[in-house]
Amino acid sequence: MKKAIQLDPVDNVATLLVDAVKGDEIEIISTNNQVIDVVTCLQGITFGNKVALTDIADQQLITKAGYPVGVAIMAIPRGELAHVQNVRSQRLDIPDNIIEEIIKQMRIEQA
Amino acid sequence: MMSSFIGFGRADGSVGIRNHVLIMAVDECCDGIARAIADSIDNGIVVTNYNTCMYGGNEEMINTMVHTGNNPNVAGVLVLAMGCGSIDPEIVAAPIRVSGRPAFSLVCMKQQGTRATITQGKALAQELQQVAQAAPRIETPISKLVIGVKCGGSDTSSGIASNPSVGRAVDKLVDLGATAIAGELIELVGCETILRQRAVSPEVADKLERLIHEEEARWHVDGAEVETMSIGNSVGGLTTLEEKSFGALSKTGTRPIQDVLQINHLVHEKPKAAGFYLSEATHLCGSAGMHFASLGAHLILWTTGGAGFNNPIVPVIRISGNQYLLNEDIDIDASGIMRAEEGVESVAERIVAKVGTVAQGGQTNIEEIGYSYCSLYQKDQRLETLLRFKPGC
């Protein structure tokens, strides 16, 4: 089964270790390879990108490796890609035109 | 892992894991002379100052040369100058001699030219090599090691596999009593709150925040914008600057931060006791190698996608988690984490074991052939003045 890794138990996202397509069931593993959850991808998510492990509310922090890495700018349901289309930096944002380019290059299906 | 290694004893009480002779040129005009001399001995390494032969404003680079000469892996030093520049080679050699290491200097113009300087330099290098060969072999606990921590050529695997594994290895080594030093303050922008909590005192926390802020200001002056996040980073899975920074942070482990070691023209701070440190070692790979050498590091743990940075003074152990970029340059394969076949703890144990092997004399994969230029980094004093930074406080 395809896998994604949750780097810290408090994280609300996990990082895909392979490319996944919409409808794929993904095993969520801990850093010690324990399977801790199974999540269904609501959209295509490529290797190295993050899938939401819980329903994340608008303005809620995104936590990876135990640290807040950004804030949700809309509700992100469990199974969706958490990335530039629905998450912003709290420190220094990527310019809007660059975000558009990233979304285009990655062919992110917008909710 | 092995608990001790047989190292090379130095007069200042330090013990090296390598036994190098440094040929240092304080001006670039002597680089060819330095290389000709270094080629005449087995363990000769060239360090050349390419910045300028003028002295004023280059004290930081001189400091880095002096402290690199005092690295435990160095047995002795020969310093060269052409004679027309402002930097007297004794400015470098004399403070190295204070450590008890032999340090000679030669001025080409006084030696009656290039050929005569090379002849005389070869004789002095032979003498230094004999000093190296006579260095007492001392059994030394692994806890005496000083380890630099650095990343470069990072990709999406770094934050998941190699950086957390190195972080865990750093914790294990610090728990054994070793010293670990990370640099790259520009890569820690966004991590200040977490780092403050790890600082041993409010003073260290304030110093840390100030030095990260200064490094950010230094690299983000008007007219010279620096990309902090590339489109490639984002397509690879990094969403925000914080995420990139925290990925880099994970290689520093979790132990308390004893201090942030400053490197500038007034001070060149070194660890006063064992433990984990941050430092002003630059994020630029080649120059970082020299910064770690000048901070007294014996070796460097370096995480990467697949690149092969090397430093001839301080052995570099390369760790990669990207199975598609792995090649013979990589000493530790962390790609099992990306395939969910191996855990961080297990890779960390292999890294610690490798540290023990390299300390004992075992070569890294490209130690002998992967020669990389010894870059001497220094901050631009005109910029420092314009930004109104107060060094040394």
Over residues A68-104, the pLDDT tens digits come to 999 999 999 999 999 999 999 987 778 888 899 999 9
Cα–Cα distances in Å, from B11 out to B64, B126, B136, B237, B276? Answer: 20, 19, 10, 50, 26
Separation of alpha carbons B284 and B282, rounded Å: 5
Domains: count for chain A: 1
A109 pLDDT tier (thresholds 50, 70, 90): confident
CATH classification of the domain holding B121: 3.40.50
Tell whether B220 and B150 lie within a shared domain. Answer: yes
Q: Which residues does chain A have within 8 Å of residue B344's beta carbon, measured at their own beta carbons?
A: 31-32
What are the backbone angles phi and psi of residue A109, rounded to the nearest 5°?
Answer: -80, 115
> Which pLDDT value is given to residue B224?
62
Cα–Cα distances in Å, from B116 out to B33, B76, B106, B111, B113? Answer: 10, 21, 11, 6, 6
Q: Which residues does chain A have within 8 Å of residue B236's beta carbon, measured at their own beta carbons?
A: 48
Separation of alpha carbons B311 and B288, rounded Å: 9
B371 found inside a domain? no
CATH classification of the domain holding A14: 2.30.130.110
- Closest chain A residue to B321, measured at CA: A17
A85 found inside a domain? yes
Task: With a threshold of 0.85, tell me whether the complex ipTM lies above it.
Answer: yes
A61 found inside a domain? yes
Say whether residue B247 is in contact with chain A using an 8 A CB cutoff: yes
Among B340, B342, B354, smallest CA distance to B302 is for B354
The last residue of one of the domains, among B134, B163, B198, is: B134
pLDDT values of chain B reduced to their tens digit, one per residue, 393 residues: 678 999 999 999 999 999 999 999 999 999 999 999 999 999 899 999 999 899 988 999 999 999 999 999 999 999 999 999 999 999 999 999 999 999 999 999 999 999 999 999 999 999 999 999 999 999 999 999 999 999 887 777 888 999 999 999 999 999 999 999 999 998 898 899 999 999 999 999 999 999 999 998 888 777 665 566 778 778 888 899 889 888 899 999 999 999 999 999 999 999 999 999 999 999 888 999 999 999 999 999 999 877 778 999 999 999 999 888 889 999 999 999 988 899 999 999 999 999 999 999 999 999 988 777 899 999 988 889 888 888 766
Separation of alpha carbons B364 and B226, rounded Å: 33
Q: Which domain holds residue A19?
A: 2-106
Tell whether B93 and B54 lie within a shared domain. Answer: yes
The position carrying tokens 């630099």 is B148
Q: Which of A29, A31, A98 sits opposite B164 (nearest CB)?
A: A31
A111 found inside a domain? no
Q: Which tokens is B335 given?
A: 């790609």
Tell whether B58 and B148 lie within a shared domain. Answer: no
> Which pLDDT value is given to residue B254?
96
> Which pLDDT value is given to residue B233?
79
pTM: 0.91
> Which pLDDT value is given to residue B368?
87
- Closest chain B residue to A29, measured at CA: B340
Other CB atoms within 10 Å distance of the CB of residue B369: 8
Say whether residue A49 is in contact with chain B using an 8 A CB cutoff: yes
Strands B299-304 and B332-333: unpaired
Q: Which of A33, A50, A102 sits opposite B235 (nearest CB)?
A: A102
B369 found inside a domain? no
Q: Which domain holds residue B165?
A: 142-360
